[in-house]
Structures are given as structure tokens and as C-alpha cells.
């Protein structure tokens, strides 16, 4: 009898556990459906449908949401999903991202990649995405897209100045000092809170620490601080798609 009773209560426990598991699964599914909703909608102004300015954390949320496999690129079906949602979210009514037809998507994609796929590898990396999304002014200032250094001499000067322990790497605390000075210089005022600065440092590390060792080596720092020479090459290279050889050499002669 005692064993039967034990088996009975075990059965009850099992049934309760199964019910709880089912409830949890249902809840998880609900969350999934909510998430399957257009992720970009929350970042648009409900009236004007313009994108709001993203904080560093929000920017990373967007990135992590669309780089689903976490390989550092939004590509293939991830890119399709992002473009559909990006475009569909501009509608006042909550249209499904599927409302973007395949033909529309292909056109969008070629136009989008022409504008943002800087290194033309057919994938969107995080710095390329940063040029698309509006961001907090201070955060945006840290991406020196349009403000390259004059020369690699200048770059090395900065490197030596901020690698204060001469480890050959810019560690998080050194990066924080660098970002603080960068903002001070750009804004000519000192209005960035320590919390924001830590948020920026974390985010910039996530963006630029390609080998994920928690610090920046020379090549990683060089992406954060582009030098003009490289920029010029890139522009000329990009232009070479649409220009003839005379126009290209003309371009190279300038500066």
C-alpha cells in the first residue's frame, strides 16, 4: 500500500511538473511571438515614424537582435529579416515585415548594400550598421567615420599616449581614458557622466575587439581611429566602380 501511495504522489508530482512545463512553454512561445513582432518599431517615433536616437546599449540590442548567430555580421537571411523590418517599421500601422515583397526586398538590398557595405563583402558589420542608425550625439562622436587622422604618425602618437602601461594593448581602463578625452576634445566641454563613459567603453570594446580578448591591439585600434591615407584609398577604390581611369588618377593626384 505504502509503495502504491508513493507511486501515486510521484504521479501527481510528475503531472504538476508537466503542467508547469507546459505553462512555461506556452509563456516562452508568447514571448517569442511578441519578439517575432517587428523589433525596429520600438525605436521609431509613434507619430513621425522617424528613428529615435539610440543609446549605446540600444544600439547593441539592435545589433545582437539581428546578428542572430553572433558571428559579427548581419548577412544572408539575417540581412533580409533586418531590411524587411527596418522598412516595414516605418509604416504607421503595424504591417507585417512580410508585406515587403521579394522583388521589393531585392531592390532595397542592392541599394542598401551600395550605400552601407563599405568593404563590399556582401555582409553588414557593426561599424557599417552604425552609419545607418541614428545614435546619441556623444556616442556617435566616438565613431570617427568622417573625421580621419591626418597620418599614421599621429595615430602612433595617440597609441603611445594611451597605452600607459606599455603592454602593447589598449585595455578597458586605457580605452575609457581615451574616449573621455575624445569627447572632451570634440565637445569642448566635460559633460559625460562616468556611467555613460563606462557604457561607451563597453560598447566600443564590443564593436572593435574583433578577437574578443577584452583589449585592443594595434589593428583593432586602427579601425576605431582611421587614418586619412586609408580613407582616401577607400574613396578612390569605391569610386573606381563608376569612374573611368582618367577620373581615378585625377582623384589620386589631389592632396
For Ca ion, the binding residue among 102, 114, 161, 213 (CB under 5 A) is: 213
Q: How many CB atoms lie within 10 A of CB 134?
A: 13
Q: Does 150 contact Ca ion by CB under 5 A?
A: no
For Ca ion, the binding residue among 83, 163, 175, 182 (CB under 5 A) is: 163
- β-partners of residue 226 are none
Q: Judged by CB under 5 A, which stretch of 27-35, 49-57, 81-89, 211-219 contacts Ca ion?
A: 211-219
Q: How many residues appear in the chain?
A: 255
Q: How far is CA 84 from CA 27, 102, 118, in A?
A: 26, 10, 21
d(CA 185, CA 241): 37
Q: Does 209 contact Ca ion by CB under 5 A?
A: yes
Q: Does 107 contact Ca ion by CB under 5 A?
A: no
Nearer to Ca ion, 106 or 161 (CB): 161
d(CA 7, CA 2): 9
Q: How many CB atoms lie within 10 A of CB 167?
A: 10
The DSSP secondary-structure symbol of 145 reads T
Rounded least distance, CB 13 to Ca ion, Å: 42
Rounded least distance, CB 167 to Ca ion, Å: 4
Q: What is the contact surface with Ca ion in residues (CB under 5 A)?
A: 67, 69, 71, 73, 78, 117, 119, 121, 123, 163, 165, 167, 169, 171, 209, 211, 213
Amino acid at each position: 500500500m505504502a509503495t502504491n501511495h508513493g507511486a501515486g504522489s510521484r504521479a501527481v508530482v510528475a503531472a504538476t511538473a508537466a503542467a508547469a512545463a507546459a505553462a512555461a512553454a506556452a509563456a516562452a512561445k508568447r514571448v517569442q511571438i511578441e519578439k517575432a513582432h517587428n523589433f525596429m518599431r520600438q525605436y521609431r517615433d509613434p507619430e513621425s515614424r522617424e528613428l529615435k536616437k539610440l543609446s549605446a546599449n540600444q544600439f547593441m540590442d539592435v545589433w545582437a537582435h539581428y546578428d542572430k548567430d553572433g558571428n559579427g555580421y548581419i548577412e544572408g537571411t539575417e540581412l533580409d529579416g533586418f531590411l524587411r523590418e527596418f522598412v516595414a517599421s516605418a509604416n504607421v500601422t503595424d504591417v507585417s515585415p512580410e508585406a515587403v515583397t521579394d522583388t521589393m526586398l531585392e531592390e532595397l538590398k542592392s541599394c542598401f548594400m551600395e550605400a552601407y557595405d563599405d568593404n563590399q563583402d556582401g555582409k553588414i558589420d557593426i561599424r557599417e550598421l552604425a552609419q545607418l542608425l541614428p545614435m546619441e550625439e556623444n556616442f556617435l562622436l566616438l565613431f570617427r567615420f568622417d573625421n580621419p587622422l591626418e597620418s599614421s604618425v599621429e595615430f602612433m602618437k595617440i597609441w603611445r599616449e594611451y597605452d600607459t602601461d606599455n603592454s602593447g594593448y589598449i585595455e578597458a581602463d586605457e580605452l575609457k581614458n581615451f574616449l573621455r578625452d575624445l569627447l572632451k576634445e570634440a565637445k569642448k566641454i566635460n559633460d559625460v557622466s562616468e556611467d555613460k563613459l563606462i557604457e561607451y567603453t563597453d560598447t566600443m570594446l564590443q564593436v572593435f575587439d574583433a578577437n574578443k580578448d577584452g583589449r585592443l591591439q594595434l589593428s583593432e585600434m586602427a579601425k576605431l581611429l582611421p587614418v586619412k591615407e586609408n580613407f582616401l584609398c577607400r574613396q578612390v577604390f569605391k569610386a573606381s566602380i563608376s569612374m573611368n581611369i582618367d577620373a581615378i588618377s585625377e582623384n589620386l593626384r589631389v592632396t
